[in-house]
A and B are shown apart, each in its own frame.
Chain A
Amino acid sequence: DTAVSQTPKYLVTQMGNDKSIKCEQNLGHDTMYWYKQDSKKFLKIMFSYNNKELIINETVPNRFSPKSPDKAHLNLHINSLELGDSAVYFCASSQSSEKLFFGSGTQLSVL
C-alpha cells in the first residue's frame, strides 16, 4: 500500500500549456505539502495545507495553484508553463511535527 501517491510520474509538455499533478495520502495525516526539487537537488517548499486550509505559501508564482478538496488530497495546477518550471515535484504529508512522508515525485519537463 502506497502511503503518498502522486501522478503522473513523468510529465513532458510544451511551454504555455496548463498541467496538473495529483497527490493522495492514505496515512490519515492532517498536513500535506508540495516541494520543488531543482536540477541541483535543492528542495524548496512551495505550499502546505492543514486540514484543507492553506498554511504555507512561499514565494511561488501565481501560475501555481494548489487545491485541497479534502485532507487526503492536495493537487497542484500549473498555468502557462515555463522552461524554469522543469523540476521534480514532490508531494509529502506529515502529522504534527513528525517526519515527512514523501511521494515518489513527478518529473516535469517543459520543452
Chain B
Amino acid sequence: AQSVSQHNHHVILSEAASLELGCNYSYGGTVNLFWYVQYPGQHLQLLLKYFSGDPLVKGIKGFEAEFIKSKFSFNLRKPSVQWSDTAEYFCAVNDGGGYQKVTFGTGTKLQVIP
C-alpha cells in the first residue's frame, strides 16, 4: 500500500524567508505526485503535480517541487514566502492505476509572520 510522510508538522517563517517542506512516499510502482494547499477555512486546492517528464515542476503562486525518484521524495519549495502563504500543505500520491486512490500526508501547517 502506498503511504506519504511529511516530517514537518508546523513551520513558522518570517516573510521573505525561503521555504522547503519535505515529502516522502512509499510505493514501488509508478506514481503521480501532488501538493495541495488548504487556506484557513477553505477547501483543498492543487498547487502543483508531477506525472512524468521534468522532475522539477512549477505550480501556482511561485511554488515548485522536485521529484527525486532515488529518494522517493517530492519536496515543496518557494524562494520567498508571503504572509498570504499561511496555510496547511498536503503532499499526496496517486498510484496512477485504474482506480485513482489518492493518499495524503498528514499535512504541514505553515505560519508566515509579517
Contact = CB atoms under 8 A, between A and B. Distances in A.
Interface in B52-81: none
Given A40-B106, A56-B99, A105 B51 contact: no
Interface string A23-55: 000000001010100001111110010100001
B46 A45 contact: no
A104 B42 CA distance: 6
A31 B43 contact: no
Given A41-B107, A99-B49, A102-B45, A94 B100 contact: yes
Contacts of A55: 99
B44 A100 contact: yes
- Those 10 A-B pairs whose CB atoms lie nearest each other, nearest first: A43-B104, A102-B43, A99-B46, A102-B44, A41-B107, A104-B43, A55-B99, A97-B96, A97-B32, A42-B106
Nearest to A95: B100
Contacts of A56: 99, 101
A48 B96 CA distance: 15
Interface of B: 32, 34, 36, 38, 42-46, 49, 51, 88, 90, 94, 96, 99-104, 106-107, 109
Instruction: Summarize A's interface: helix, strand, loop or mixed.
Output: strand
Interface residues of A, number: 23
Contacts of B45: 102
